């Protein structure tokens, strides 16, 4: 696996960045061939190739059942949100669900004030968790893997992060739903989508918030990345700091790649994913992140600067 990781990161290069309101994006490209074919969650729902439901009639907060009803591989990204059933959820890991298969996937709840059915099955929320929720969840899942070999997140910390996001945006949600923040901020988020066009063949992006790195995102298939980019961009834009669009002039591709390069010296942990492939965790040298590898190819990778947060966490009783 070490060779796969090194080959992947050594294949990456960046293009010309652009900035908007304090957020800067470097497009990322790779020279590696695309071997594994798959479709995104959004496409699978659109074509009725997938069904996602509660694991049992009574429901289980940390798990859902995914049914692939097609002959296509379906890639569901870590932190893509599912809306409906008894509570909105986000995936804890990236999962490849192969043709005609069923998979139980680990999830976290992003809606604290509801535990009753509004639909029998889930649909695509159109949303990915905000960057701070994703970072916190990615870190706690990595800790769970090292502690007890599970893909569980710290659910109460996820709820705390969603509450912080709601407070910063001024969103009032009856069920404390993360998605309500994105709905309230839709007009602002659309302005970011117009400001960050995609490049031909682009497979990833490195974001900076102000002059500090905020995250790295990669999907092996450029077509799939194009489909997923609006969700990914909104994940960062919803928390974008105030600032001028001149930031890109103060940043270089070398700075972006130096951030990426930290992963090569981070500690790695490899575990079989809930679906097909291997889940890889990165921790150390100032980064936290994960990737999914299948048949020697990195299908998805995400990592964040490892922030040292000193704020107290308010603990709440989980809803079940």
Q: Please count the residues of the chain.
A: 320
State residue 256's pLDDT score. 95
Q: What is the DSSP letter of 265?
A: G
* 50-78 pLDDT, tens digit each: 999 999 999 999 999 999 999 999 999 99
User: Is 257 a residue whose pLDDT tops 70?
Assistant: yes
How far is it, in rounded angstroms, from Cα 58 to Cα 35?
Answer: 40
Contact 140, 78 (CB under 8 A): no
- Categorize the per-residue pLDDT at 248 as very low, low, confident or very high, splitting at 50, 70 and 90: low
How confident is the model over 121-127, as a mean pLDDT?
A: 97
Element (H or E) spanning 206, and its range?
strand 204-209
3-state secondary structure string across 37-100: CCEEHHHHHHCCCEEEEECCCCCCCCEEEEEECCCCCEEECCCEEEEECCCCEEECCCEEECCC
- Measured CA to CA in angstroms, residue 84 lies from 111, 119, 177, 249, 272 at distances of 10, 6, 11, 43, 28
- Measured CA to CA in angstroms, residue 43 lies from 50, 126, 294 at distances of 9, 11, 20
How far is it, in rounded angstroms, from Cα 287 to Cα 258?
Answer: 12
Contact 81, 179 (CB under 8 A): yes
Give residues with Cβ within 8 angstroms of 310, minimum separation 6: none
* 135-155 pLDDT, tens digit each: 999 999 999 999 999 999 999
Q: What is the Cα 216 distance to its own chain's centre?
A: 10
How far is it, in rounded angstroms, from Cα 118 to Cα 102?
Answer: 23
* 285-303 pLDDT, tens digit each: 899 999 999 999 999 999 9
CB atoms within 10 A of CB 32: 14
């Amino acid at each position: 696996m070490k060779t796969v990781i090194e080959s992947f990161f050594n294949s990456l290069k960046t293009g010309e960045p652009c900035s908007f309101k304090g957020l800067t994006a470097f497009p990322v490209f790779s020279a590696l061939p695309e071997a594994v074919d798959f479709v995104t969650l959004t496409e699978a729902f659109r074509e009725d190739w997938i069904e996602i439901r509660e694991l049992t009639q009574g429901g289980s907060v940390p798990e859902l059942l995914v049914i692939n009803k097609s002959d296509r591989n379906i890639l569901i990204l870590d932190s893509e949100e599912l809306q409906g059933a008894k509570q909105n959820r986000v995936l804890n890991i990236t999962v490849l669900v192969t043709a005609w298969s069923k998979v139980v996937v680990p999830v976290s709840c992003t809606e604290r004030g509801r535990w009753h059915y509004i639909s029998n099955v889930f649909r695509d929320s159109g949303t990915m968790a905000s960057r701070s929720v994703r970072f916190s969840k990615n870190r706690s899942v990595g800790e769970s893997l090292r502690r007890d070999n599970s893909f569980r997140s710290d659910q109460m910390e996820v709820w705390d992060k969603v509450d912080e996001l709601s407070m910063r945006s001024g969103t009032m949600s009856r069920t404390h739903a993360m998605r309500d923040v994105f709905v309230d901020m839709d007009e602002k988020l659309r302005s970011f989508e117009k400001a960050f066009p995609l490049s031909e063949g682009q497979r990833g992006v490195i974001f900076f918030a102000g002059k500090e790195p905020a995250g790295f995102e990669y999907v092996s298939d450029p077509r799939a990345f194009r489909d997923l980019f609006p969700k990914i961009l909104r994940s960062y834009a919803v928390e974008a700091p105030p600032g001028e669009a001149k930031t890109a002039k103060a940043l270089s591709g070398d700075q972006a790649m130096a951030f990426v390069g930290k992963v090569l010296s981070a500690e790695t942990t490899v575990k079989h994913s809930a679906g097909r492939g291997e889940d890889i965790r990165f921790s150390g040298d100032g980064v936290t992140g994960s990737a999914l590898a299948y048949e020697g190819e990195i299908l998805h990778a995400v990592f964040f600067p490892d922030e040292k947060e000193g704020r107290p966490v308010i603990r709440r009783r989980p809803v079940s």
